[in-house]
């Protein structure tokens, strides 16, 4: 990864990891002892991590005792030397939330979770990000405050419209979604679906394969999102 620079660039790199990585390492405190586990993650529109956890899991018991957690987002896949690749450690507090919109966003990114998302012993957690520690490669290390790491602009209108946008794209413009995957991301094949829209891009999925489509500039409204998707479709078909 060649990007580096001042805090603004570091925050953008870190947030990109938050949005791209759909699984991570969760660190909790088991009554004072460190406990690490693998979890599935989806980023909310502001990039706050969302977790769907069973009450029966040890990490959920740990969070009930102490909500302070840490998450590692590992973006080093494909690097010959993993230590030259980007990774982000997020420090914050996990709180259980009852939020149908956020739950729908999580299950859209992780379709298999729909099998158990309605079980009474599963809870959705939102992580309130306090700080992030970005290692973008050798010598490129930055602490980032939570207010800088997350996307700050109001995306309420986009959040409300997200299900409709996804339904419209997947039902009426599946060819465009396939063009995004093939023409812009180099991912061949059919069956791609759009699983999420946020101010900085869109998430795609085909079976267990995922991809991230970045917008040239942030979008906050359905109209701006449509314009960005049309522009990307035109680029993908060239």
Distance of CA 233 to the CA centre of its chain: 22
Distances (CA, A) of 59 to 52, 65, 98, 121, 236: 11, 10, 19, 13, 42
pLDDT score, position 189: 84
Of 127-141, 167-181, 194-208, the least confident: 127-141
pLDDT score, position 8: 67
pLDDT score, position 198: 98
pLDDT at 33 over 90: yes
Query: CATH 2.30.110.10 in the chain, residues?
Result: 7-149
Query: CATH 3.20.180.10 in the chain, residues?
Result: 156-236
| pLDDT band at residue 19 using 50, 70 and 90 as cut-offs | very high
pLDDT at 13 over 80: yes
**Nearest partner of 134 among 156, 115, 123, 149, judged by Cα:** 149
| pLDDT band at residue 1 using 50, 70 and 90 as cut-offs | very low
d(C-alpha 175, C-alpha 139), whole Å: 43
pLDDT score, position 105: 97
Instruction: Identify which has the larger pLDDT, 139 or 84.
Output: 84
pLDDT at 4 over 50: no
pLDDT score, position 2: 37
Mean pLDDT of the region 133-149: 92
Q: What is the CATH number of domain 156-236?
A: 3.20.180.10
d(C-alpha 75, C-alpha 186), whole Å: 18
User: 108: part of which helix (H) or strand (E)?
Assistant: helix 100-109
d(C-alpha 231, C-alpha 217), whole Å: 12
DSSP assigned state of 137: S
| pLDDT band at residue 190 using 50, 70 and 90 as cut-offs | confident
Cα dihedral value 217, 220, 16, 184, nearest 10: -50
Residue 45: how many CA atoms within 13 Å on its side-chain side?
A: 22
Residues 6 or more apart whose CB falls under 8 angstroms from that of 223 comprise none
Whole-number CA gyration radius for the chain = 18
**Nearest partner of 46 among 74, 69, 10, 19, judged by Cα:** 19
d(C-alpha 137, C-alpha 36), whole Å: 23
The token duo for 96 is 């259980």
Instruction: Identify which has the larger pLDDT, 73 or 140.
Output: 73
Of 6-15, 49-58, 104-113, 159-168, the least confident: 6-15
pLDDT at 70 over 70: yes
| pLDDT band at residue 188 using 50, 70 and 90 as cut-offs | confident
Mean pLDDT of the region 63-87: 95
pLDDT at 216 over 50: yes
pLDDT score, position 85: 92
CATH homologous superfamily of 7-149 = Electron Transport, Fmn-binding Protein; Chain A (2.30.110.10)
DSSP assigned state of 30: E
Mean pLDDT of the region 28-52: 97
Angle between helices 222-236 and 156-172 (to 10 degrees): 40
pLDDT at 125 over 60: yes
pLDDT score, position 3: 39
**Token pair 């040890």: residue:** 58
């Amino acid at each position: 990864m060649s990007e580096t620079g001042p805090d603004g660039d570091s925050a953008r790199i870190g947030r990109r990891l938050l949005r791209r990585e759909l699984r991570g390492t969760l660190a909790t405190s088991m009554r004072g002892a460190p406990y690490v586990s693998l979890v599935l993650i989806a980023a909310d529109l502001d990039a706050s991590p969302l977790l769907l956890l069973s009450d029966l899991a040890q990490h959920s018991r740990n969070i009930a005792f102490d909500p302070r957690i840490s998450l590692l987002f590992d973006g080093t896949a494909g690097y010959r030397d993993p230590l030259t690749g980007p990774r982000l450690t997020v420090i914050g507090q996990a709180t259980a939330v009852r939020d149908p919109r956020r739950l729908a966003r999580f299950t859209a990114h992780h379709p298999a979770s729909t099998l158990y998302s309605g079980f009474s012993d599963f809870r959705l957690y939102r992580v309130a990000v306090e700080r992030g520690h970005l290692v973008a490669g050798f010598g490129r290390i930055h602490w980032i405050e939570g207010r800088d790491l997350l996307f700050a602009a109001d995306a309420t209108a986009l959040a409300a419209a997200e299900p409709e946008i996804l339904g419209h794209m997947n039902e009426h413009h599946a060819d465009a979604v396939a063009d995004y995957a093939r023409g812009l991301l180099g991912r061949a094949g059919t069956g791609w679906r759009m699983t999420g829209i946020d101010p900085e891009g869109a998430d795609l999925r085909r079976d267990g394969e995922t991809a991230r489509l970045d917008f040239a500039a942030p979008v906050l409204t359905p109209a701006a999102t449509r314009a960005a998707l049309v522009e990307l479709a035109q680029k993908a078909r060239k």
